[in-house]
Structure formats: C-alpha cells, structure tokens
A and B are shown apart, each in its own frame.
Chain A
Amino acid sequence: MTIVSEEQTTTSVALENLLKEVGGLQADGYRLVQIGCTDVGGAYEINYSFDKGYQFRNLRLTVGPETEVPSISGLYWGAFVYENELHDLFGISVTGINIDFKGTFIKTATKYPFSVTRREGDRCRNA
C-alpha cells in the first residue's frame, strides 16, 4: 500500500484577504474540512481548514470581539453549519451566511458559552 503522508500548514490571513484566499483554495480543488475558533483572551483565532489529498491547509484569521467576519458560504455552501456555530458559541458576527439561523442553530442556556472574552476572563479552570 502507498501511505499518504499528511502535511499540515497554517497561514495567517488578513480580514480583507479572507475571501480571496479561500477562493484560491477552492479554485485549487481543496474541500472545506471545518471552521473552528479559539478565544485567546480579548481576540478570536478562527481556523479555516481545508484538505486536498490529505494535505491539510489552515487559514488563520485573528479578529477582535466586535469585528464582523464575512461568510465564506458563497464559496463553500456547507460553511453555514460552522459559521452559525461561530456565532452561537462565541458571539462572532458573521455576515452574509447563506442559511443564517440568527442565533438559534445551537440552543444554549448561556449566551456565547465558549467565549472567554465575553465572560470577562473566566476560563473555568480548576488549576
């Protein structure tokens, strides 16, 4: 058997270049794997992950809590699940989602439960 070696690369991307970079990956035949967010305390790191032949490419966008992020659902139709998740769990405003649930995709008792920034630094740690 041929073992396909997996490579992972992460590239930072500026907000104004996001759609252009994502469009480039789409044109190169990459499929969208996921969009995920990490609250780094005062800012959000959003990872847009793509794959082609087990080569894993990440575009990393760092934004402040009040920044509006453009949706990539015009390029990758299935991105709406991840973008609604970004809004419902972290409170990130994503504009132009093809199916926008307006905060009702994931129903949680606490608003934006994964956002450390919006909960004023409470990391829930017991360390």
Chain B
Amino acid sequence: MSKRIVVPFGPQHPVLPEPIHLDLVLEDELVVDVVPSIGYIHRGLEQLVQKREFTEYVYVAERICGICSFIHALCYCQGIEHIMKIDVPDRARYLRTIWSECSRLHSHLLWLGLFADGMGFENLFMRSWQLRESVLDVFEDTTGGRVIQGTCKVGGVRRDIGQEKLDEMHRTLDSFEEQCRDLGGVFLNDETVKYRLQGLGVISKDDAYALGAAGPTLRGSGVAVDHRETGYAAYGDLGFKPVVETAGDCYARCAVRVRELYSSIDLIRRAIEEMPEGSIDVKVKGTPDGEYFSRAEQPRGEVVHYLRGDGTKHLVRARIRTPTLANIPALVKMLPGAQLADVPVIVLSIDPCISCTER
C-alpha cells in the first residue's frame, strides 16, 4: 500500500465559483477518503426571519441564491399561503410555473457551461452561456430583473405578463428548443464527453436514496423523485413526468439536466397556451399562526422551507434545507475510487451551490 497523503481541494479552486473545502486522502493519485468542510460564508439568513415581517422575508428568501432565487421565493410564499389558507389565483400559479421553469433553464445552462469548462471544452461552455443569456433576457423583459426577479409575493405575483409578450415567448420557444437540442446533442453524443464522464463518480440507486440525495443527483441514479409530481403551482394542471437516468455516473447526471431543458421548454409552452385569465394576487389579511414544511423542486433538487409562525408579524423560525446540503453526503461517497484529476468533474456533477448551502 502506498503512503497516504492529504491533498486540500478548495475552498478556492478554478472549478469552484464559491468556497467549499474537501480534504482528499490519496494513495498515489487515487482518492480513498474525503472529508468535506463548509461554513466559510455562512450568512445566517434564517435568523433574519425574526427581524423582517413575514411579507418582507420573501425578499430575503429570494436572495438566498442568485440562480434559483425565484424558486426560493415561491417555496417560502407557498408555505405561508398554506399556513394562512390563502388560495392563489390560477393565473398567478401559471406565471409562477413559467418563471420557475425559466429558472431551471438558466440554471441548467449555466451548469452545462461550467461543466464543459471543467472538462476543458471551452467552446461548449461559451455556447451554453450564450443560450443562457436569452433566458436571462426573458427574465429581464418580464420581471425587470435578470438575477433577482422580485415578482413572487405572499398571495400571488406582483407582475403579469401581457398576452403580446406571452405570444412572443411562445414564438421564440421553437427556435430556442432547436438550439438547446443541438447543444444537448453534443453533451449526450460526443465521444470525448462520453469518454470523460461515463463510469465516473458512480453512486448506486440504493446509496443515492439512503444518503438523502436530491434532484438530478438522485434521478441520475434511477430514483424517480421530483417534487413537481405533487402538482404545486400549475404542475398538476400541465402534466409532468420526472426525467430519470439509471447509470448513476457523471454522464447520467449530465443527461438528466440536458433532458430537463427539453421538459422545461415543454412546460413553459403549455403554461403559455393554457394561461388562465384573471387576477394575479389576492389581498393578504392576518398573520401566520402555525407551521408547515413547504417543499419545491429547484434545479438542484428538492428545497424545504420549514416555516413557523405564532400569530405575530414575525415568524418564529424559518429553516431552509437546500439541495446541495443534502447532496454533500452523496458527493463524499462518490469520490473514493476516483483519480485526483477527476475530482473537479465529479464535484461539479452535483451542481454545488454554496450560496444556498450557506444560507
């Protein structure tokens, strides 16, 4: 047996836009054990719930993450609406679905670009981010913000999308889908990509489930769990099936995200076609008194907002479990057996969002 050495990976590393640290225990270049560390930028946003009124905390929830910002706000609002028994108008549910799926599109395209960059496929990185720009343009056109949208609120949404704009979005979806399929084809079919990803960072179906993994990390191992199946927002009306792959390796996790691009485009298309008329919000009266575990499906997996009110305008507790936190144990199990040079790609394959983790 070779002498074991510990190589630090992160918190600053070219493939990591945010800080996470792994102590890699190596025998030669083979990873035999991993110890993760987080907590470099913990912001204590959960605690702010005691300083902001429950209607204002939406802004804080949205700022937990700059990528899945809208879905954080949605999950928080749905939790408050459940506690206060508020029925959100149908049009608001559909608008929430459109913006949620736009979030998923731009998150997955961002990740595909970073993943391509991590593999050394620079023009694929640029192409992915070029496509992502058009999603951000839609956000800017429809909400006024490219990163933080500020449209979700307790009781509905703040902004409507006019019919003219919806028609324009619908018209551009066909060409956007064609471009996504071209891009996805490279990730799914290119021999270099396959050679780099297949058989790498494997986690079995049983392990992924037992470790509490979430999102594409779980579905890439063959477990069909996607919270959109519960039909929140307008998913119950639109029809939805989770995207699942079975190999459990980096390629499978990548394939799930690529195929989810197509599924998101389809959901947006149908949400536009079936958009109901009517109001976009209801007036909120009273204060939340009760508790609820609100759950929604972010691009990285299931997010949980535990909300608890005591009848005052401040919540007693907001506890947010983000998907990356749930995927860290799975990452620790994926890495042993890999070569040191493969670690960056495996780490990226769970799409780590440290901003979410360090909420």
Contacts and interface: CB of A to CB of B under 8 A. Distances in A.
B37 interface: yes
Nearest to B322: A34
Contacts of A71: none
Interface residues of A, number: 42
Interface string A21-62: 000000000011110111110000001010000101010000
Interface residues of B, number: 44
Interface in B221-249: 227, 229-231, 236, 239-241
Contacts of B213: 78
B37 A105 contact: yes
B210 A31 contact: yes
B307 to A, nearest CB: 11
Interface string B315-337: 01101010001101110010000
B313 A127 contact: yes
Interface string A48-82: 01000010101000000000000000001110111
Contacts of A40: 316
Contact of A31 (B46, B209, B227, B292): B209
A126 B312 CA distance: 12
Per DSSP, are chain B's interface residues mostly helix, strand or loop, or mixed?
Answer: mixed
A127 B51 CA distance: 8
Contacts of A126: 51
Interface centre among B44, B213, B293 (most CB of A within 10 A): B293
A106 B42 contact: yes
Contact of B50 (A3, A49, A54, A124): A124
A33 B302 contact: yes
Contacts of B239: 1
Given A104-B37, A113-B47, A6 B295 contact: yes
B42 A108 contact: yes
B9 interface: no
Given A34-B306, A34-B321, 18 more contacts: A1-B236, A1-B240, A4-B230, A31-B209, A36-B306, A49-B293, A49-B304, A76-B211, A76-B212, A78-B213, A81-B326, A81-B328, A106-B39, A107-B39, A107-B40, A108-B39, A125-B50, A127-B313
Interface of B: 35, 37-40, 42, 44, 46-47, 50-51, 209-213, 227, 229-231, 236, 239-241, 292-293, 295, 302, 304, 306, 308, 312-314, 316-317, 319, 321, 325-326, 328-330, 333
Interface of A: 1-6, 8, 31-34, 36-40, 47, 49, 54, 56, 58, 76-78, 80-82, 88, 99, 101, 104-108, 113-114, 123-127
